Every structure is written in structure tokens, then in C-alpha cells.
Structure 1
Amino acid sequence: MSTTDILKVEKRDVGASTAQMRKEGYIPGVIFGKDFDGANFKVPKVDLAKFLHNSGKVFEVEFAGKKHLVTLSHVQRGHLGTDFVHCSFHKVSAKDKVSLSLPIHFIGEAAGIKQGGLVNINFHEVEVEGLPKDMPEYLEFDLSGLELDENWTLEHFTLPKGLTWVHDVTDTVVTCSMPRVEVEPEVEETEMVVETHADAEAAAEEAPEKEEAAS
């Protein structure tokens, strides 16, 4: 779990306009979870952006003097994807396992690259299950041993203690193969005959003479 500072949020006034909150620099949000009544809050946009940039998927939120262990459920952004609109956190128990999608950080240069191969990554996140305390900010996969023409599935990687795969372990994560060389089809050259205006006139004059000769 991330050791980032606790995210402090403020109680949201009942009936407060979300548009007005955003105008004042706040982002509305909600905390929900099993056996929890839920809580509507607001948080300074600057604080939220900084916190999410540095935190993991499991962290604590301080609301009305109480701390809640949560996971990041959803962050809604504007139509350009550059601004926060709303966020939601899922309250969890430190004693119960959770399933989360964690980002993968690939390290090391694949051995197959020295033979001219290219590394192809199939996905950059993977879903795992475990207790909140065992959840890291990200998973680190070392590609140093990946040879040319090899496919590595999840079975090639070891999870931190306490975590298990939710994905099928036979899913291919990364491959190393020679780049495809596309050969353009040969186009048969044909001789083009260009008929000029003069050629057309000459052909028209010859036509009556050929008809008289034929008769």
C-alpha cells in the first residue's frame, strides 16, 4: 500500500451546486462501501491531482475527523480528458481481500532485441487479489531474459507475497519477434497509347475511303 500522506476531504453542503464547487476550485466526490452509509465530500482540485499522481490504488481518506481505508473506484474527467469532474472511493476493510488492476512497469532490455527482435506488450495493467496492506503501487516485470521468438505469459512473473492473479495465467503479456517486412506487390507495366486530336481526325478521314473500297 502507498505510504503517501492521507487525502483530506471536506464535507459537502447538502444541495450545493457541483458547478459552483468546481468554479471555486473543488471537485465533488463520494465514498461508498459495504455496511457504510456513504459520504459526499469535496476536495480541492489541486490537492486531488497531486495526491492521485503520487498515490497507489489503496490509501486513506480523512473525512469529518475519521480515516477511511479506500480504493480508487472511478475518476471522471471532462470531455477533453484534461480536468477532473467527479471522483468516487470504495471503502474497504483491512481484513478483507480486494481485487485491483495494478499498472505494470517493465524493466530491462529483452535479450531478443540484440538479434533484431521487437518487443510487443499486450497489456500494461493486470488484475490481482490480496489484502489492502499487500497491494503495491505497481508491479515490476523484468524482460531481460526474453529471447527472440518467445512469448511470456503471467506464469513467467512472480507476484509479491500475499497476492494472486485474477487474470488467466496463460494470458500472454509480452512477446519478442522479428519485425514484419511487407513486400509491395509487383505492378505489371502496360504500354499506354495516347491518341492525339490529329490522330482522331486522320482516322475519321480514312473511314469513308475504307467503306468505298469495301463496296
Structure 2
Amino acid sequence: MKTVEVIGYKRANLGKTEAKRLREEGMVPCVVYGGDHQIHFYAPMILFRDLIYTDEAHFALLTIEGEPEPFEAIVQDIQFHPVSEIIMHVDFLQLFRGTPIKMNIPVHTTGTAPGIQQGGKLIRKVKYLQIKALPKNMPEYIEVDVSGLGLGKSIKVGELKVGEFEILNSPLVTIAGIEVPRALKGKEDEVEDEEMEGEEGEEAAAEGGDAPAAEESSES
């Protein structure tokens, strides 16, 4: 997995007023834990572009003022502003190469589904899957092949082939499916109704054909 460097500076004050001032200056308040001690720091918001605003997962290499050397971490939690959606705060978890970690990994769909060519629409139900693995085995994204999906069909977590990692989502969770448009649903209903009417007509004709013969036989 690729690594994005984040250069940070330790925070002297941890109050809301100080955090607001940092954001106004284009900085992101952060904390990293999982090591010997928690470190509160801030970093330029522009450094998070390739770490957060991307369709691939990355490790972070934290170079923090006052720390003896850089160390690796993963994004554990992100808080966004409800209106502007700027980054309000980031929690990091220090990682160690021999210890399994959990990450939300983006889902990429591959292939062309036959259902799309038939007029259906591909609907992605899940954008991320929670993966548990050693850092060396953590994928940057999960590929989901949709080339076998027809109209109304879907693929679930339990159908994926996994490598040296574990998917923590339920096997019954739907990842993607082909939605049948209303226009096609209407046509399908019409076809089904016509088929049912045809079957009913044949049954009625068969029943009606037997009745006269019975009457004739009784009169004779």
C-alpha cells in the first residue's frame, strides 16, 4: 500500500478556541494514539488531499515536530463540517508491521454487466468494506467483478474471493446490483399478464369444449 507523508506540529493548547483558529489558518487538528503516548498535533489541510480525498486507501507517514523519527499510522476517524465538509479533526492509529489492523477499503467495480446492456442500471450499495489484515497484506482497494450480473441480479460479500485478508462485513451484505428500470418492469408485468391470460384462456377453452359433449351424451 502507498504511503502519504503528513508533516505535523505539536499543539500547545487543546481548547476549542485554539482548534477553531487552526482551521481558519488552513490547519487540521489531529491526534495519534496506539503508541507509548498520545500525540496532539496539527498539519496543513492540503497534505490530506492524497490521503483522504482519493478512491484508494493509504498509510500515513507522520513526521511530527519533536518526535525522534517518523512513524506509520492509519486514519482511524475523520470529522467533517456538516455544511462546508472541510476536515474538522483527524484521529490516527499508529501501526506496527507485525500487528493486524482494520481499515475501510474502497470498492472498485470491474467488468461490464450484461444487465446494463439490457437497459438496467448498476447500483453500488457499498462504497467501502472493512478489512482486517497485517499491514503488508492490506489492499489499496477491493475489486468486484460485475460482468456476470443480469437484470435484477446482485453480488454479495460472501461471494467475493479474498486473499491474505479478512472481510469483516456480513456475507449477506449486497455490494452492487443491477436495478431494473420502471419501463422494463412495466413491460415485464405486461408480458407476465399476457402469459397468464393466455393460460387462463386455454384452460377455459378446454373446460368449455368438454361441456357440450357431456350434454350431447346425456340427451342420447
The bucket for the TM-score relative to the shorter chain is 0.7 to 0.9
Moved more, 69-78 or 150-159: 150-159
TM-score, length-scaled by structure 1 = 0.72
Number of equivalences: 180
- SS in structure 2 at match of 1:13: coil
Shift of 1:108: 2.1
The structural deviation recorded for 1:14 is 4.1
Residue in structure 2 matched with residue 30 of structure 1 by the alignment: 31
Preserved CA contact (<8 Å) 1:109 1:144: yes
Name the counterpart of 1:104: 107
1:41/1:100 CA distance change after superposition, 3 Å? same
Cα distance in 1 between the residues matched to 2:89 and 2:23: 10
Partner of 2:165: 163
Structure 1 position 87 matched with structure 2 position 86: no
Q: Which residue of 1 aligns with 2:42?
A: 42
Compared CA separation, residues 97 and 148, structure 1 to 2 (3 A): same
Contact 1:134 1:163 in 2 (8 A): yes
Q: Say whether residues 1:180 and 2:179 are aligned partners.
A: no
TM-score (norm. length: structure 2)? 0.71
The structure with the greater share of residues assigned to helix is 2
Contact 1:57 1:102 in 2 (8 A): no
Tell me if 1:52 matches 2:41: no
Which residue identity is paired with 2:59?
A: V
TM-fit CA distance, 1:95:
0.9
**Which ranges in structure 1 are unaligned for 5 or more consecutive residues?**
184-215
Contact 1:117 1:176 (C-alpha < 8 Å) held by counterparts: yes
The alpha-carbon deviation at position 166 of structure 1 amounts to: 0.7
Question: Which moves more between the two structures, 148-157 or 124-133?
Answer: 148-157
> How much has 1:15 moved relative to structure 2?
5.7
Please report how far the alpha carbon of residue 71 of structure 1 lies from its aligned counterpart in structure 2 after TM superposition.
1.4
Inter-partner Cα distance in structure 2 for 1:106 and 1:75: 25
Q: Residues 30 and 39 of structure 1 are in contact (CA less than 8 Å); yes or no, is this contact kept in structure 2? A: yes
8 Å CA contact 1:106, 1:141 repeated in 2: yes
Correspondence for 2:62:
61
Per-residue CA deviations over 1:180-210 (Å, capped at 9, x if unaligned) read: 3487xxxxxxxxxxxxxxxxxxxxxxxxxxx
Query: For the Cα contact (< 8 Å) 2:158–2:170, is it kept in 1?
Result: no
The DSSP-based 3-state class of the residue aligned with 1:94 is coil
Structure 1 counterpart of 2:120: 117
Instruction: Kindly state the Cα deviation for residue 57 of structure 1 after the two structures are TM-superposed.
Output: 4.3
Q: CA RMSD in A?
A: 2.4
Work out the percentage of aligned pairs sharing the same amino acid: 22
SS in 2 for 1:152: strand
Question: Separation in 2 of the partners of 1:81 and 1:23?
Answer: 13
